[in-house]
Every structure is written in C-alpha cells, then in structure tokens.
Amino acid sequence: MKALSQKRRHPLAAVALLLLGLLLTGGLYAAATSINDAQATNAAEAYSASDVEEGERLFVANCATCHGINAEGSDAGPSLIGSGAAAVDFQVGTGRMPMQMSGPQAQKKPAQFNDEQTMQLSAYVASLGSGPAVPDEEYLDVEQGNIARGGELFRINCAMCHNAAAAGGALTEGKYAPALDGVESRHIYAAMVTGPQNMPEFNDSNIPPEDKRDIIAFLKNNESQGVPGGFSLGSLGPVSEGLLIWTLGLALLIGSMVWLTSRSS
Amino acid sequence: MGEHGNGGPNSGAVIKAGEGRSSGYAIDNPGLPPHRPRLSDADEKAAKRAERQVSALFLISIIGTVMFFVGYFAVGVTAGDLQMLRLQNTLLGLGVAFAMLGIGLGVVQWARALMPDHEVIEDRKPLRKEADRAEAAQTINEIVDETQIKRRPLLRNTLIGAALLAPLPAVIVFRDLDRSEDFGPERMRHTMWEEGVRLVRDPTGTPIRASDLTVGSAVHAIPETLREVSGHGDRLAEKAKAVVLLIRMNPDDFEPVTPGREDWKYEGIIACSKVCTHVGCPVALYERHTHHLLCPCHQSTFDAAEEFKVIFGPAGRPLPQLPITVDDEGFLIARSDFTEPVGPTYWERG
C-alpha cells in the first residue's frame, strides 16, 4: 500500500485510473444486460405494451363474440383468463380458432392470422392472467432430444389416443385425437402443456420440458423415417386394413371367380 | 365322363338342344345348349395368340421369382437404412405375388382358351334301396367281429385305459408352463398396491405430489415397490396388474360417492385401474371435459365422475378404483390394495 500511495502522483496514474473505471462499468453493464436477456427468454414474456394493445383490438374484433368482451367467457366459449400464451399460440396458430363451426371438436384448418397477429393475440391473453408461456427454443431443438426415451414416454402417455404410429384415432361422440405428423414442434409442445379441447394436460412437473423435447424428437424422427413395411393404409390398424380386404379383396375374389367360370370367346 | 366316345375333344356337343330325354316332368329336359366353338378352336391364329398369352403369364411368374432373389440377395440392407429396407420389402412382396399369380392365371387361361371345352353330362347315381343299407351295416358288423373286440374284453378295456391316459402329458406340459407357487386364479385377486405405497410415474419412477396435478391432468402411475421386483418377466406381470391412471378433476364434477368410498380420492384426484374389465385392454383414453375414459379395443366407456361406471360398451363392471391419499411429504400414496380384483371378470366372480 505504501508503494501505491507513493506513485499516486505519477503522471500515468490518472490514465490507469480512468482505464480501470471504464473496464469496471463496461463489464458490469455487459453482465447486467445478459442477465436481463436471460430473464426475458426464460419468461418468454417479451411482449411489448403495443403488442398487448394490438392483440386486444384483434381479440375484440374476432374472438369476443364467444369468449366475451373481456375474455371472461360466455355460454358459447370458455373464459381465457389464465389460459396463457401457449394456448393461444396453439389454437390460433393451427387454425383451430376462430372455430370453423360448432361441433364436437374444433378442427385444424389454415391459420386465419399471420404470425405477428398470433403473437399479439397471445400477448393480450397472457396479459390477462398467468398461464403456460410459449416454449423456449431450447426445448424445441430435436437435435438435443433422446429419441428412444421419447418413444417410451410417448407410448405410455400419448399412444393410447394418438396411436402408436402417431396417426391419430377416434374418441367418443365424434371427438378424435388428431394425427401428429406435420405438426410444428412448438404446437406439439403447447398442446402438451395446455391440454387443448379434451386432451388432458401434461404440465412440467408431470413431464418435464426435457422429456417433452424427447417426445418431440421421437415424433420428428418417426415422421422422417417413412414406412418401411409398404402401404401403411393410414397406420390405423384393423379398421383400414379390414375395410380394404373386405372391399378390394372380396371384389378381386369375386372378379376372379367370374373370370374362372366364364367361357372364353 | 365317358359319354364322349369317339372323335376329337372338340368334336361337338354330346347332346343337342331338343334331344333331351323325356323325363315325365311337365317340362321336358331341354338338354344342353348347342356347343359354340371358341375363337381359338376355329382360328389357328387365335389359338397361337392364346398360347402367347399363357406363356407371357408364365414368364411373369419367372420374372417374379427372379425379383424375389434380387431383393433377397442383391439388395444390401444395413442397420438403420430404411430406404433400402423398403426397397427390399417391395421386391420380396411383388416378386412372390408375381411368381404365384403368374402360374395361377396362366394355368386358368390355358384351360379356358386351349384345353377342350366340350360339355359332359354325368347322371346322378340313382338312390339305392334298403338292401344297400343293410349291406353296409353288415360290413361294419363284420369288421367289429373281426377285431374280436367283443370277445376279448381285456383288449377293449386296455385300449380305453390307454386312450384316457394319453392326453395327460399335454395337461402336465401346459401346467408346467407356469411353475409359480401362487398358480391359479387367486393371484389375479391382489396387486402390489398396499397401504402407504407411493404412486410413481411410469416409466420414470419419480414420486408424484398432489400439487403436481393441475385440474385436467392425467398421469400414468405404477407402485414404487415395483422396482424391487427382480426378474424382468415378473416385473412386467406385476406392472400389468398394478397400472393406474391418475386424473385430477374439478371436485364439483363428482357425483355423490357410494358409502365407504368417501376418503378414496384426494381433493379432485382420483385413481383407477387401467385394465379394462371387459378383456383387459389398457383403458387410458381420457377426455378431460367429459371425464370419460374410453377403451380402445371395444369402445367400453367409463365415467370418472361416477366412480368409473360403465356408460357404454361391453364391459361388465366399473373399473376398480384405487383408494389414495397423501403422506407427510405431500406425495400420493395408496390407502390399500384395490378392494376387488382388477381386469376381466373371471369365473369365480360370476
């Protein structure tokens, strides 16, 4: 300390002090901003006030008839308070909402809103009450997923409704579990978290985000592999196979019987 | 056969129209329609064409067999290469189909177009008299007499004994397919669940807190003690009996409970056996809004709000409900085993 105090009047002392100060503030600032970034992505609530405002305008114009002017719900549609951004992203992003017609279940159709509008609607609904957020990119990266584990989780939690080949299946009274091929990873994720329509909810304490990523990785891998066994007939099992053999197969048999017993010209 | 005596195979009809034998019926037997020669009978060119058709079909069969061998030997399938596997499967399937169909269709076309097609009448043998029947009975009696089975009861009795004993090895062999000590229907009566056993997630084995289940959640659970079962086969057998579906509903949605079941659920959390009471398929198609559980095999539908009562389909009784509660740490545990056997109704239960 003595040496330091002796040199404090050195001509270069001011320059050294300045440099030190700059380094310190610069470093702190960098650290602070990266923490902020991290918080923003973790919460995935990076919506601006104008997004919420624009989303509310879209909501009042397109959704309020059924869901109520303040999203409080009505006889025609449930309350959306606390549904969260993920639910909106799924329902609007896959075209299920606005609903095409009333029926046992909202059907997938071309999306009615573009990505920005969907994001704004999500922002508005997310602002009403906390709910599942749109998933982090990290959990949609199938490269990091464990396909074998995903397959096991899928067979236990999902395959009974969505079919072992993810080809979908029928439920009661006109409801059905849709096929999962061609569904975007974020929508698969959102469906698990929010449990749309009659699907049960698989929240993060039941299936952690990493396990959800494994399931998505399994589905995407399944999709890319094709069907090595020939015609899959929709992978629906005895229904489509039986229909084929009872129509085409029997027709072929009857046809060959007619041919066998007919006279040659 | 036998009424086409002389002449070539295509020498014409054996019986012409109007030549039917008078039968005493109101309408005379009109006999066969006039024989119409085929194109290949009259025209050598047409016959040649038919010949080419048949040999082309046989050729297709040959090509099919070659395709099979190309697919089998020439297409190399390495592990994970599904494109080549698909090509191989296609070649094997189409190859065998062509090989069989080619021969079959070729032979049929040969018979239709080239082989003789003259009509033949074969009369039904007239029914014979009582004498014939007596003759047959006598033949049988003679055979019985010749075996001397009536005169030599020792032969008869030892034969009966041998025939009765002979199937017994099969019974023993089938019985020995399962040598476990608790063999018999009793083992289906109990599962691994007992008081205090934690419900853990299938397949990860992590315990489940009541707070982990939000309304509308469905969790597939197994007993925590399952991991202590040694032997893969035994573990699977125990798991198959003990699998449980946990769901959390809005507590207001439940119908009034049967007396004695008041403390079987925890808040809105209710647990049931996943084994269908019809033929044992896993019932797990849960609809969160209708709280219906559907069995994928025969569409039996159970209502979770009414203690899993059957509301549609062939199942004979409700899914057994597992009584649950939480332990000191907030994890879900069983209060006891199922109070009735899980799975399809077996004979003792009527």
- Please check whether residue B29 is in contact with residue B21, taking contact to mean a CB–CB distance below 8 angstroms: yes
**Region of poorest pLDDT, from B46-60, B97-111, B118-132:** B118-132
pLDDT digits (tens, 9 = 90+) for A195-253: 998 999 999 989 999 999 999 999 999 888 877 777 788 888 888 899 999 999 999 99
CA distances A199 to A188, B183, B224, B292, Å, are 12, 40, 27, 11
Q: Output B297 or B347, whichever has higher pLDDT.
A: B297
Cα–Cα dist A258/A252, whole Å: 10
Q: What is the pLDDT of residues B49-86, one digit of tens each?
A: 999 999 999 999 999 999 999 999 988 777 777 788 88
B207 DSSP β-pair partners: B200
Q: Which two tokens stand for residue A211?
A: 């396990």
Q: What is the pLDDT of residue B9?
A: 44
* Nearest-by-Cβ selection for A160 from B203, B216, B285: B285
User: What structural domains and CATH numbers belong to chain A?
Assistant: 46-133 (1.10.760.10), 135-226 (1.10.760.10)
Greatest C-alpha distance within chain A: 124
Structure tokens belonging to residue B47? 């016959």
Q: Are B288 and A171 within 8 A, CB to CB?
A: no
By mean pLDDT, which of A36-45, B31-40, B292-301, B308-317 is the weakest?
A36-45
User: If pLDDT is split at 50, 70 and 90, which confidence band does A17 have?
Assistant: confident
Helix ranges (H only) for chain A are 2-6, 13-43, 49-62, 64-67, 85-93, 115-128, 147-157, 159-162, 185-194, 209-225, 238-244, 250-261
Task: Look at domain B188-349 and name its CATH class.
Answer: mainly beta
- Report the C-alpha gap between B246 and B324 in whole angstroms: 10
Q: Does A1 touch chain B (CB under 8 A)?
A: no
**Coil, helix or strand at residue B21:** coil
Q: Which of B270, B268, B257 is nearest to B215 (CA)?
A: B268
Q: Which residues have a Cβ under 8 Å from the Cβ of B220 and sit 6 or more positions away?
A: A156, A157, B201, B202, B243, B244, B245, B246, B274, B284
pLDDT (average), residues B31-36: 83
Query: β-strand B199-201 against B218-223: which pairing, if any?
Result: antiparallel
Report the DSSP pairing between strands A169-170 and A176-177: antiparallel
- A111/chain B closest Cα distance in angstroms: 25
CA A153, CA A209: separation in Å to the nearest integer? 13
- Average pLDDT for chain B: 86
Look over chain A and give the mean of its residue pLDDT values, rounded to a whole number.
85
Question: How many CB atoms are closer than 10 A to CB B317?
Answer: 14
Would you place residue A4 in the very low, low, confident or very high pLDDT band (cuts 50, 70, 90)?
A: low
pLDDT at B17: 46
According to the model, what pLDDT value does residue A1 have?
Answer: 54
Q: pLDDT of B2-24, one tens digit each?
A: 344 443 444 444 444 444 455 56
Instruction: Give A-chain residues touching B202 at CB under 8 angstroms.
Output: 156
Q: Which pLDDT score, from 0 to 100, does residue A3 have?
A: 62
pLDDT, tens digit, 9 for 90 and up, residues B251-292: 999 998 888 898 898 989 999 999 999 999 999 899 998 999
Using a CB-CB cut-off of 8 Å, the residues of chain B touching A197 are 289
Q: Is the pLDDT of residue B348 over 70?
A: no
Chain B residues within an 8 Å CB radius of A201: 214, 216-218, 288
Taking the Cβ of residue A226 and every Cβ of chain B, the question of whether any pair is shorter than 8 Å is answered with yes
Beta-sheet strands, E only, within B171-323 = 199-201, 218-223, 244-248, 269-273, 285-287, 292-294, 301-303, 309-312, 321-322
Run of H or E including B51: helix B44-69
**Token pair of B292 as six digits:** 């219906």
Residue of chain B whose Cα is closest to the Cα of A261:
B112
CB B105 within 8 A of CB B63: no
Least confident of A26-30, A127-131, A168-172, B302-306: A26-30
Taking each helix axis as running N to C, give the angle between helix A209-225 and helix A147-157, from 0 to 180 degrees, rounded to the nearest 10.
100
Question: CA torsion sign, A264 to B4 to B8 to B13?
Answer: negative
Residue B113 and residue B263: Cα distance in Å, rounded? Answer: 82
Tokens representing B112 are 């239709």
- CA of A75 to nearest chain B CA: how many angstroms apart? 15
User: Which sequence spans correspond to the domains of chain B?
Assistant: 1-123, 133-166, 188-349
Q: Which of B325, B326, B321 is nearest to B340 (CA)?
A: B321
User: What pLDDT does B13 receive?
Assistant: 44
ipTM of the complex: 0.72
**What is the sign of the dihedral through the CA atoms of B59, B64, B66 and B70?**
positive
The confidence score (pLDDT) of residue A185 equals: 92
Q: Which residues of B touch A237 (CB under 8 A)?
A: none
Mutation pick from A162, A172, A239 vs chain B, by most beta carbons of B within 10 Å, is A172
Share of chain B above pLDDT 70, in %: 92
Spatial contact of A208 and B212, defined as CB atoms under 8 Å apart: no
Average pLDDT over residues B151-157: 92
> Is the pLDDT score of A164 beyond 80?
yes
Q: Does A161 touch chain B (CB under 8 A)?
A: yes
| Residue B116 scores a pLDDT above 80 | yes
Q: How many CB pairs under 8 A join A and B?
A: 95
Q: What pLDDT sits at residue A99?
A: 87
Q: Residue B96: which of B86, B88, B84 has the closest Cα?
A: B88
DSSP letter assigned to residue B279 = T
pTM of the full predicted structure? Answer: 0.71
Q: Verify whether the Cβ–Cβ distance B290 to A172 is below 8 Å.
A: yes
Report CB contact under 8 Å: B86, A230: yes
- pLDDT value at position B1? 39
C-alpha span between A15 and A17 (Å, rounded) = 5
Alpha-carbon distance of B341 to B191, in angstroms, equals 8
The CA distance from B71 to B248, in Å, is 54
The dihedral region occupied by B75, where left means phi > 0, alpha psi between -120 and 50, and beta the remainder, is: beta
Beta B218-223 vs B244-248: how paired, if at all?
Answer: antiparallel
pLDDT confidence of residue B185: 72
* B81-103 per-residue burial string, b: 16 or more CB within 10 A, e: under 16: eeeebbebbbbbbebeebbeebb
* pLDDT tens per residue, range B169-193: 999 998 888 777 777 777 778 899 9
Q: How far apart are CA A215 and CA A231, in angstroms?
A: 25
* For range B24-29, the mean pLDDT: 78
| Size of chain B, expressed as the number of residues it contains | 350
Q: What is the dihedral of CA B272, B273, B274, B280, to 10 degrees?
A: -140
